[in-house]
Amino acid sequence: MTSGVTTAADTELRERIRRTLRSQKQRTITVLSSLLAVQHEIKYVPEVAIEETAHFIKGATINDVWSVASFYTNFRFTPPGDHTVEVCWGPSCHIKGAQHVLRAVQSELGLDREGETSDGKFTLRYNTCLGACAHAPVIAIDHVHHGRITPDSAVRHVKQARSKPAPGH
């Protein structure tokens, strides 16, 4: 018999997820609604959330839940960075030089694709249109838009975000 598989942090995370699952207000509660609730609360869907959802929804197994979760590209299964930087490279932004902006942001963050920085501070995402084409090129940091951006101003905004606490904390 072994013990010590479970740590206090695990238990706390499970508790938080259980609370989240239970506090869904809508009438129809499904695997999908549960996963969305978790992602909204925790910002991602950790493995224990798959397990807890399987326990919460009668008749579901972890494999059923993972089947749903892995189907949707919107779910993320690792914690996001403290700040999200979205660089638009939709058609308008592209014409207005989004690729230069992207390259500058990437080199500032030390990334060459979407994802998290190694220090967990930033998540970089590409966006196919942030819906503000009139201000192209556009980036969004923590969902705040910055228009008519240049490579330099983009890097300045990223640097400013770095010194701020994660939103929602």
147-155: list long-range contacts, CB under 8 Å, 24+ apart. Answer: 149/101, 150/101, 151/100, 151/101, 151/103, 151/104, 151/105, 152/104, 154/87, 154/101, 154/104, 154/105, 154/108, 155/104, 155/105, 155/108
Choose the stretch contacting another protein; rule: CB under 8 A; options: 27-35, 44-52, 110-118, 125-133. 44-52
91 binds, among ligand FES, another protein, none (CB under 5 to 8 A by kind): ligand FES
- Tell me the window of 23-31, 45-53, 78-86, 101-109 that interacts with another protein (CB under 8 A): 45-53
d(CA 169, CA 43): 13
Q: Which partner from the list another protein, ligand FES, none does 129 bind, CB cut-off 5 to 8 Å by kind?
A: ligand FES
Total binding residues for another protein by CB under 8 A? 30
Residue with tokens 């207000």: 25
Interacting residues toward another protein by CB under 8 A: 1-8, 10, 14, 47-48, 50-52, 54-55, 59-67, 70-73
Residues at the interface with ligand FES (CB under 6 A): 88, 90-93, 129-133, 136, 138
